[in-house]
Amino acid sequence: MEKLLILRLGSMGDILHALPAVAALRRAFPSATIGWAVEQRWSELLCTRGAESAASGTAEKPLIDTVHWINTVAWRRAPFSGGVWKEAAVAISILRDARYDVAIDFQGAWKSSGLALWSAAPQRIGFARPRERPAALFYTRRVVTSSPHVVDQNLELVAPVTGHAPGPALFPLPCSAIAEAWCDAELCRRGLTDFALLSPGGGWGAKLWPPEKYGEVAAALGQKGLRSLINFGPGEEDVARAVEQSSAGAAQPLCCSLGRLIALTRRATIFIGGDSGPMHLAAALGVPVVAIFGPTDPARNGPYGTRSIVLRRASSQTSYSHHDRPDAALRSIAAGEVLSAALQLLEVRGE
């Protein structure tokens, strides 16, 4: 195996869930060239800004050799633009010209399996039951998996390639000296050392716990001497503002780039949030997590590899339909329950 192509275009949590499997490939083939096709907005999970051409195995680019920007989300927004067609043609041609031996599709979608086919890799490996069933038509090998958690499913997917047990699940994330310095300066400016990181946002509305309850938790933690930062992304300004207003001044909003979020999360004392990319990032970095779940199944998507407490009502119905209808069972989880879980994890951390 001289050249391996990884296909996992997005999103944040899904890319994080694929890292241990790719780390297993790197251990099995230390001298192989590993490329990863990814949406540009998530590439800081693989290498720091400006390090796309740097050598693999560095702090800035710990795992892979080549980053292929495949911006399908942006391309779909302007499907009739000549510039978009040119950009897509160049990106896909570069992928093909790399002449990969094996393409491994962790996404299981028609677009990712189509890219595997277009890469002309003679071996194309994917799940026997991919997320979009037609994707399986483009694979030369279909792998049956049985593990409940998606991290372990991904490790099963690469087992036929590595030929042996995967070993420990590792999450090699890049470390930017610039982002680390920014984080230290920002925390100093805010007068923070220990802090809780709250992340009230999420990919779709049904997964969201009410922002006012996050504020209640932050206020209670503040009374115990632990202030909070509110992580939010584009379009989540109103949610972050509602948390801040409900926290009695104990929580401060902070929006930052993905590279800076990695640095910030490394320093968090505890993370509190729902099933979202930032929650999976905290788990990957070994930060204690209070996870608040509703329609998604924590057995499949829960925090992996860190001390955690998952709160979910038995009445929540498992669904991945990406709708925004409020989940009544999720919303019934009380702020006091989340606070109690956080204090339990903080007590263990202090021992």
Reported as a pLDDT band with limits 50, 70 and 90, residue 7 is very high
Tens digits of residue pLDDT in 56-93:
999 999 999 999 999 888 888 887 788 888 988 999 99
pLDDT at 350: 58
Tens digits of residue pLDDT in 88-145:
899 999 999 999 999 999 999 999 999 999 999 999 999 999 999 999 999 999 999 9
Q: Under CATH, which architecture does the 177-350 domain have? A: 3-Layer(aba) Sandwich (3.40)
As given in the structure block, the two tokens for residue 88 are 């897509």
Reported as a pLDDT band with limits 50, 70 and 90, residue 348 is confident
Residues of the chain with CATH 3.40.50.2000: 3-162, 177-350
User: Higher pLDDT residue, 74 or 264?
Assistant: 264
- Given a contact cutoff of 8 angstroms between Cβ atoms, the answer to whether 246 and 222 are in contact is no
Tens digits of residue pLDDT in 16-64:
999 999 999 999 999 999 999 999 999 999 999 999 988 999 999 999 9
User: Is pLDDT of 351 > 60?
Assistant: no
Q: Environment class of residue 53 by beta-carbon count within 10 Å: exposed (0-12), middle (13-18) or buried (19+)?
A: exposed
Tell which residue, 344, 176, 340, has the closest CA to residue 266: 176
- Mean pLDDT for all residues in the chain: 95
Residues 6+ apart with CB under 8 A from 205: 323, 324, 325, 326
Report the SS3 class of residue 49.
Answer: coil
Q: Read off the pTM.
A: 0.96
Q: What percent of the chain lies above the pLDDT cut of 90? A: 87
Specify the length of the chain in residues.
351
Q: What percent of the chain lies above the pLDDT cut of 70? A: 99
> Considering only the top CATH level, what class is 3-162?
alpha beta
DSSP H or E run through 252: strand 251-254
